[in-house]
A = this chain, B = another copy of it.
């Protein structure tokens, strides 16, 4: 079977990981990545021997790349015309402009969470609404928090039915290595409801959601607490069993040594995962508590890498590679080795 040809626009925190993710998919070919300037990410690509071809977007100064002996394989157009689908992880607002180029070239595209919903035909989540993306040209992924949050809510919803959630997002304020944003000894609150609650309702329209978001001065993963109202009484045991079956949810506990978001980052590094990344969200079994007809729990969102699997799902849906949620997500999981440890344990 012919491999689906994929390009990546924007080789930043997300773009690098998208490229790595595509390169791992046995049925996809990474044609190349495009960027504007010789950032640290591009310099690292050079130092690694250019495993991916580099293309320059409009406005790039090629002489800067030449001065650093960084091989350039062409311009953005050269990349676009050689792919079936683009993954656009450009800075927010650039994707909508790039879309014109994609349309002209007749290529599909998946946009990241920073773009407005209107950029796409479908606001997409691999587990919650895969089928809506099948065969579509333009998909937009949910943001990192929403992606992880929906994994857990969709998981409970399919098993037991969920009709209402109230979330508290304890948001990491910067990624490791960020110097263009940060917060020092301060918590910062956003106006409620948080966009993640609103986005959840767009993806899962039968659920009523609200939430409050507080920024915290850390870099290794958001923590979200979820108060979910079930259509039936959901016990701790019922929730735990459902979460443990989900390939993209890693159930952990404080007793094992997972004391917080930094433990999960450390563990991913110790696993030897590239960049210390993790595709799964963490879910603390000892955070699950019942109250009335509600269940409450806490999850950890590895913000740099959590959307990569769902973006692979999006390619599969858009390009008709697999037409059902079960097939699409399981092929992605296989290539990214997600849930391997879980399967082996069982």
> Residues of A with Cβ closer than 8 Å to B?
16, 39-41, 43-45, 47-48, 164, 166, 168, 170, 172-179, 181-193, 208-212, 214-221, 223, 225, 227, 229, 254, 256-263, 265-267, 269-272, 274-276, 284, 286-292, 294, 296-298, 341
A305 to chain B, nearest CB (A): 11
A292 near B341: Cβ-Cβ < 8 Å: no
Q: Which residues of chain B have C-beta atoms less than 8 A from A294's C-beta?
A: 164, 166
A179 near B262: Cβ-Cβ < 8 Å: yes
Do most interface residues of chain A lie in helix, strand or loop, or is the interface mixed?
mixed
A189 near B296: Cβ-Cβ < 8 Å: no
A40 near B258: Cβ-Cβ < 8 Å: yes
A302 to chain B, nearest CB (A): 13
**Given known A-B contacts A184-B173, A184-B184, A212-B296, A257 and B43 have beta carbons under 8 A apart:** yes
* Complexed CA–CA distance, A298 and B41 (Å): 23
A42 to chain B, nearest CB (A): 9
Which of A190, A214, A284 lies at the interface centre, i.e. has the most chain B CB atoms within 10 A of its CB? Answer: A214
Q: Which residues of chain B have C-beta atoms less than 8 A from A189's C-beta?
A: 223, 254, 259-260, 284, 287, 298
Q: Which residue of B is nearest A219, CB measured?
A: B185
10 contacts between A and B (CB under 8 A): A16-B270, A47-B271, A168-B225, A176-B185, A185-B219, A185-B220, A192-B296, A212-B287, A212-B297, A269-B275
Copies of this protein in the assembly total 4
**Given known A-B contacts A182-B183, A208-B292, A274 and B272 have beta carbons under 8 A apart:** yes
A253 to chain B, nearest CB (A): 9
* Complexed CA–CA distance, A256 and B305 (Å): 25
Q: Which residues of chain B have C-beta atoms less than 8 A from A254's C-beta?
A: 189-191
* Complexed CA–CA distance, A287 and B214 (Å): 10
Q: Which residue of B is nearest A41, CB measured?
A: B270
- Select A262's contact among B41, B177, B267, beta carbons within 8 Å: B177
Q: Which residues of chain B have C-beta atoms less than 8 A from A292's C-beta?
A: 164, 208, 229
* Complexed CA–CA distance, A257 and B46 (Å): 15
* Complexed CA–CA distance, A171 and B256 (Å): 22
Q: Which residue of B is nearest A293, CB measured?
A: B164
- Select A270's contact among B44, B266, B341, beta carbons within 8 Å: B44
B290 near A210: Cβ-Cβ < 8 Å: yes
* Complexed CA–CA distance, A266 and B267 (Å): 17
B187 near A257: Cβ-Cβ < 8 Å: no
Q: Which residue of B is nearest A37, CB measured?
A: B257
* Complexed CA–CA distance, A257 and B42 (Å): 11
A277 to chain B, nearest CB (A): 8
